[in-house]
A and B are shown apart, each in its own frame.
Chain A
Amino acid sequence: MKLAIFLLSAATVASAQTIEGNVVDAVTGAPVAGAMVSLYSFSPSPAVFRTDASGHFSLPGFDDGSIPPIVLSISKAGYLQARYQLSSKSAQSGLQLQLMPTAVIAGKLSDDDGFPVDRAHIAALCYRFADGVRELATKATAESNDLGEYRIFNLPPGRYLIRVSPGNLANWDRRYQTEYLPGSLEPSAESWIEVKAGEERAGIDMRLTRHEGVSVEGRVVLPPGRIVSLSLQEKLEGAAPIYFGRTANPFFHIPHVPPGNYRLRAQSGSFSLRAGDLIAEQEITVAGADIRDLVLNLGEVKPMDLSGVVAEESGGVPPTMLINLRTTLGTSQTVRSDSKGTFTFRDLLPGQYHLQLAFDVTASGPGDHAAMPSYPISALLGEKEVLMSGFGLDGPAGPLKITLSNRLEPRVTGNLRDAAGQAVPGAVVVIESANLLARRMTVTDTAGDFQLYPRFAGDYHVYVAASLDQADSLSDPDYINAHRNDFPPLRLVEGQNPPLTLRLPAR
């Protein structure tokens, strides 16, 4: 905080070294005027500057010319926010920093009557790498207005799957369902739209149609006087329930269910699960025929314990660890491992859990983590590796075996240059092996330098994206397959590896 104030006041003094440069459009090379340049150093609140009409900016530097860890964040509406880590190796003047223009997908939605669709939810999905897997995730969303118009903006260049949920229209007629471009219940090759940097794709119109679907009906074996919430939800990320109701009537009838894989769930009590609630869940596949006579038998939600142990790969005494389990609903429990490495979670409810691990910095004793730089390499629940992916809990399970290793992590430093030999700042470098637990991502600084610390020694492929916002394309399986040989394969050994020099191919 004090540093930022110091920097601002230093502007009036003839300062030793000024941080100065130009911001240009990454596609046209034209100067970007009025971009906001924020300087982050040790301060949580950045000092803010603007580029002038010629895209030029000038920030006060440091008296002694040293460069503390400084990040320049550059933003302007219509561009992806860029972050550049200043390198002490590169000149602090004459910086040429690029802003990547964002893409827009816009259009109009109408329904079977030709009426505009108001307040529909439109989502642009792309692949993302999370929890050790590649998955389709929402990148940006928009809501249509009363004229049916929508506009999805701030999109990094790349390809997107366009999904439309009818929102308000489904309240009018339940036969309207979530559809994919160009108007189908299932995504197809036509559902994807590829946009270039700065491209505005208008006229992506879509007509939502009614789908009769089939009926799903049955009963819940419901004790007298109890009320359950019944929901039918497609097994897809971000899918809204196709049906939701609270009822004391054991019989249910859900009309107009389109084909797909669903989870049918009956639950007493409130939205978040509690011990003693009654719950029943059934997975159903809907095809062309009505589904009748489903019977949901409610079972009581019983809290359960989950025990585990932390062990050093070397057989040594494990340090005290903090082990956290977090549900998708946000509730979380943290326990501490004891001197033998054992730990127990009490009263966990059925659900999906994510695992997080940290060294207990407040603990002292034999397992002092500072003296022994071990790190988690595996968490096995039964046979299943859950370190990154987390796990579902629906009955007694365990033990959870967490393995720490004090093997030296492979380390590699590198430098990224373009075809003309210029350093490429702000680019994303990803290394990936067959073992996705070891996948690593980093961003180059203003000298084009980067460092990577993957978890395991072995063979890797190298991928590069122009900016952090474009890193999602590196999660797209098709992209990965097409770019596997952009750079030579990399073999990493434990400890320090020889420096890596990457050169981008000519455009």
Chain B
Amino acid sequence: MANVLVVAEFAEGKVKKTTHSAATFAQAVAKGSGGAFSILLLGSGAKAAANELVGLGAAKVLVADDASLVNYVAERFAPTVVATAKKGFDVVVTAASAYGKDLMPRVAAALGAGYANDISQVKVDGAKIAYKRPMFAGNAYGWCEITTPVQVVSVRQSEFAAAQAAGGSSPVEVVKLEPPAAGGDRVEFVSFDQVKSSRPELTEASVVVSGGRALKERFKEILDPLADTLNAAVGASRAACDAGYAPSDLQVGQTGKVVAPKLYVAIGISGAIQHLAGMKGSKVIVAINKDPEAPIFQVADYGLVEDLFQAVPALVSEIRRVKSM
């Protein structure tokens, strides 16, 4: 029997969607092992948002709501997660977002627990839990187990669909905020420069249009009309981000975002190993590149060898024409 604690992600007064992927993992482990799961929501204003989580089948929704949690700093969040985990939980989980990847190893170390990052699948056999995770930029998958009494993991959002309403209403309980970890008085939040976008979130979009360095300064000019036509999120290769053609939080790849949309359109992307690691799980992949030898064509379902500056505008008009029929 494994009891699971989901650590929710919260920003600007709302529960982030990543939480629902972690909840899906928790539902599966709780069901498979005959245990239960609870959700811990930390943040300033968390209490008001707790009702977003009461329908997922959790035994409890635990809330730590304090003005000091207005901006995320690991040293301030980790101690409350650690104290809560010690109240009878066997597995602690978040999504493998920047938040989860920052926070959870710190939590694991405080608990003396092992930590497995970026889980793509879980198998429960009685009390035994095995986790599958990508390694070597997704060129291998390892099945592993964590040998400590408490196990800490983060899950790949693209592999765990958002949890659906499970019926019932979980009771909401306030938990005490623990003081910051040692060293917490030596870290100060300065600012968060947010990249505002009206487009769908990259990790949640059903269509992603991604551009490479070949787009140069015309990155936005060429990609935006296509993204608008497809209601797509915009992604980028590492080379495009490094060159400054696209903001770095658009990067898709081994160390950027991992996406698995219904349709991924790679424009002027050669297909380096570390890029493929972030999009190979897409259902349908389209590649447009004038180099017929580009490795991206090895994973593309549909490849078009053409100059993108001609092909993409033509693609936009053709999609509009077909959609208007």
Q: Does A pair with B?
A: no
